Amino acid sequence: MVTEEKKGEILERLKKAVIEYDEDAAKDAAKEALEVGVDAAEAIFNGLVKGMEEVGRLFEAQEYFVPELLMCADALYAGLDILKPHMKKLDLGVNGSVVIGTVEGDVHDIGKNIVKMMFDVAGFTVYDLGRDVPLDKFVEEQLRTDSDLVCLSAMMTTTMVGMKTVIDKLKAKNPNVKIMIGGAPVSQDIAEKWGADGYAKDASNALKDAINMISSLRKMRDEAEAKKASK
């Protein structure tokens, strides 16, 4: 059994590796975590994710910029790749799957990849359509995978209007699907106007929003079933 002290030290190293974008340190700490018997989920959430939370704070404070963020994400994945196979199915109260992609006309995928990382961490099944994705593809993929959530990203004003088309089509086919949009030109105002369920200003908000949305979806289903049962 690993001592609390040792565990604390390893978690701290995982956190620090992410903050200091040190992929090798993340790998070493992740391997050692498994060797000494730290629970993989705990190593992810109290180590790597803690580090990413601090990165988010540094980003907000404009101490870190996108290059640092990308390198921190690499370090997180370096640890995650080692830990994830050993993670027991997480009980976050959600068991979601998500379709994610950047809309057609937009070849920028950095924001989308950061959001995707948060879903990976949280144990979602992620269907990543990549970038420059034809609008109908989002609808097809949602139907095919029956995902709870669709995330659309656009980096430029000139492409974000495509998101409205996708929202309309998705809602027409499946009114229960939750849709989250994000990207530099997107605002809360636009999200509301276009009928999106969530809006991610940045990656750290995206995860919180995603979990809230899935929870509310389950609630809706439960209510519908309770209604059926009472008849």
Partner 1 sequence: MSSTNISSRERVLNLFNGRTIDRVPCFSGMGNITTAGLKSLNYKFATVHLDAKKMADAAATTHKYFGFECGVVPFDLCVEAEALGCEINVYAHSEDILYPTIRKKVIHNEDEMELSIPENLHEKGRIPLVGEAIRLLKDDIGNSVAIGSYVLGPFTLAGQIMELNDLLKLSFKKPDRVGRLLDILTEVIIIVAKEYEKAGVDYITVREMGATSDVLSPRVFKSLILPYLKKIFERISVPSVIHICGKTNDIAPFMVESGARAISVDQKNDVAETRKKLGKDALIFGNYDPYNVLVAGTPEIVREAIKRCIDDGVSAVWPGCDIWPTVPEDNFRAMMDIIQEYRR
For residues 74 and 21, is the Cβ–Cβ distance under 8 A?
A: yes
CA distance 82 to 57: 25
Return the residue of 5, 67, 172, 226 that touches partner 1, per CB under 8 A: 67
Q: Which is closer to partner 1, CB of 96 or CB of 162?
A: 162
In this structure, what DSSP letter does residue 105 have?
T
* Part in contact with partner 1 (CB under 8 A); list of ranges 33-41, 142-150, 159-167, 203-211: 159-167
Using rule CB under 8 A, residue 188 touches partner 1:
no
Cβ neighbourhood burial of 99 (10 Å; 0-12, 13-18, 19+): buried
For residues 180 and 149, is the Cβ–Cβ distance under 8 A?
A: yes
Return the residue of 70, 81, 188, 216 that touches partner 1, per CB under 8 A: 70
CA distance 149 to 98: 5
Using rule CB under 8 A, residue 220 touches partner 1:
no
Number of H helices, E strands in the chain: 10, 5
CA distance 1 to 112: 39
For residues 144 and 175, is the Cβ–Cβ distance under 8 A?
A: no
* Part in contact with partner 1 (CB under 8 A); list of ranges 22-30, 45-53, 60-68, 120-128: 60-68
Return the residue of 144, 157, 173, 188 that touches partner 1, per CB under 8 A: 157
Using rule CB under 8 A, residue 65 touches partner 1:
yes
CA distance 40 to 34: 7
Using rule CB under 8 A, residue 187 touches partner 1:
yes
Q: What is the 3-state secondary structure (H, E, C) of 53-65?
A: HHHHHHHHCCCCC
Using rule CB under 8 A, residue 104 touches partner 1:
yes
Using rule CB under 8 A, residue 189 touches partner 1:
yes
- Residue ranges in 111-150 that form contacts with partner 1 under rule CB under 8 A: 113, 132
Using rule CB under 8 A, residue 62 touches partner 1:
yes
Using rule CB under 8 A, residue 53 touches partner 1:
no
For residues 203 and 114, is the Cβ–Cβ distance under 8 A?
A: yes
CA distance 211 to 209: 6
Q: Which is closer to partner 1, CB of 4 or CB of 189?
A: 189
Return the residue of 6, 86, 108, 201 that touches partner 1, per CB under 8 A: 108
For residues 84 and 114, is the Cβ–Cβ distance under 8 A?
A: no
Using rule CB under 8 A, residue 34 touches partner 1:
no
Q: Which is closer to partner 1, CB of 157 or CB of 216?
A: 157
Contact positions toward partner 1, by CB under 8 A? 62, 65-68, 70-71, 74, 104-110, 113, 132, 156-162, 165, 184-185, 187, 189-190, 193
